Amino acid sequence: MTDSPRTETTPLPPLHVEHVEYDDPRAREMRARMDAEMTAVYSVGRDPDEPAEKAAARDAALTVHPENVRATVLVVDSEGAAVGHAVLYDRAGEWEVKRVMVDGTRRGRGIGRLIMAELEAIGRAGGARRLILQTGDRQPDAVALYEKVGWTPIPVYEPYVTTIPQSICFERVLD
């Protein structure tokens, strides 16, 4: 018996959420893929004469320090492959969502919604009043996801005000 090709009506294998350590190999691989994708998106049109200090400040604002990670979440398929990733981060007492990534071949299938719901559940369980996040102005799909799942736009917050002022920021007040 041969495997039949997947069609639009063939159900996807079940997905589940795993809480993992920040250095889990699947999480590291998802972040590396995200870095490559974001580099490609944001390198277009970047000022080649950008001062090194400005680039370093931007990179520092985007850096995740493992000791400040509250939770790392993966969405995993039935074969154990990570197809979604996100981190909850302690940014000066705020619960910040960082590094949200859905595998490019799996987008549009509810994985992002699953990730965001899990992050909200973790925040509620941990006593967070709200979650915040920053995304880029060249990521309309991310913006659409956050709006669809009920996040509210907020002013750009530090450290992004000075390093990436064109950021788009959101909050989710937790019940």
The answer as to whether 45 is a domain residue is: yes
Number of domains in the chain: 1
Question: Do residues 75 and 19 lie in contact, with contact meaning Cβ atoms separated by under 8 Å?
Answer: no
Is there a contact between 40 and 146 (Cβ–Cβ < 8 Å)?
no
Domain of 155, CATH number, reads 3.40.630.30
As a whole number, mean pLDDT of residues 27-42 equals 92
Whether 41 maps to a domain, the answer reads yes
Does residue 3 belong to any structural domain of this protein?
no
**Amino acid 48: pLDDT:** 82
User: Does a structural domain hold residue 120?
Assistant: yes
Residue 4 lies in a domain: no
Q: Which pLDDT does position 50 carry in this prediction?
A: 84
Q: Which of 17-31, 45-59, 154-168 has the lowest mean pLDDT?
A: 45-59
Provide the residue range defining the domain that includes 110: 16-173
- Report the pLDDT value the prediction gives residue 13, as an integer from 0 to 100: 61
For residue 2, give Cα distances in angstroms to 11, 103, 130.
18, 26, 50
pLDDT digits (tens, 9 = 90+) for 112-168: 999 999 999 999 999 999 999 999 999 999 999 999 999 999 999 999 999 999 999
Domain assignment of residue 34, yes or no = yes
Residue 9, pLDDT > 70, answer no
| pLDDT band, residue 34 (cuts 50/70/90) | very high
Give a yes or no: residue 9 inside a domain. no
**CA 99/CA 85 separation, integer angstroms:** 7
Residue with tokens 């870095």, as numbered in its chain: 35
Q: What is the pLDDT of residue 33?
A: 94
CA–CA separation, 138 and 25 (whole Å) = 28
